Amino acid sequence: MKTKTPIIGVIGSSEPCDNGLFLAYEVGRLLAEAGAILVTGGLGGVMEAASRGCSEAGGQVLGILPGDNPSSANPYVDIAIPSGMGHARNVLVAQTAQVLIAIEGELGTLSEIAIGLKVGRAVFLLGSILRVKGAVEVATPQQAVSAALLALREG
């Protein structure tokens, strides 16, 4: 790989509460400001809010979709990967991200955290009630992004 551009994943609920949307937007914005590429599952909720934050701050957004129609991506996705692989797309998100930030989230997010940790990715939890051994809680979007970038450098 010629580039050192970090690729950071944001995963989480497709139906978060308002605070989750705010956290996701802020994480996306901060990732763009840090020069990172954002990867998500490409759909709504946390995925869309983070994508919007990243996009509006000038960052690039990758969306790995469960379906085979690129048009199902949220409006802030720059590069859509229409996997057509259903829940197996969660594995693609977890492996494409070099670090994962989980915001709220339920069973799908839990599967991504588990696979991410399994393949050696650092995972940070922000505003999430999910608890998995090895995933680290952070308190703010700033902490999440700082911790993610630090984990990458130390990776």
Please give the residue ranges that form the binding site for a copy of itself (CB under 8 A).
1-3, 5, 7, 37, 55, 62, 64, 68, 70-71, 73, 75-88, 90-92, 94-96, 98, 107-108, 110-111, 114-115, 117-119, 132, 134
Q: How far apart are the first and last CA of the chain?
A: 16
CB 48, min distance to a copy of itself, A: 12
Q: How far is the CB of 26 from a copy of itself (least distance, A)?
A: 20
Q: Which CB, 56 or 142, lies closer to a copy of itself?
A: 56
Rounded Cα gap, residues 27 and 49, in angstroms = 9
CB of 55 to a copy of itself, least distance (A): 7
* Placement of tokens 């085979």 in the chain: 68
Around 108, how many Cα atoms within 13 Å sit in the side-chain half-sphere?
A: 21
Spatial CB neighbours of 45, under 8 Å, sequence gap ≥ 6: 12, 13, 14, 15, 16, 20, 21, 24
Q: Tell me whether residue 88 or residue 136 sits nearer to a copy of itself (CB atom).
A: 88
Min separation Cβ 82 and a copy of itself, Å: 5
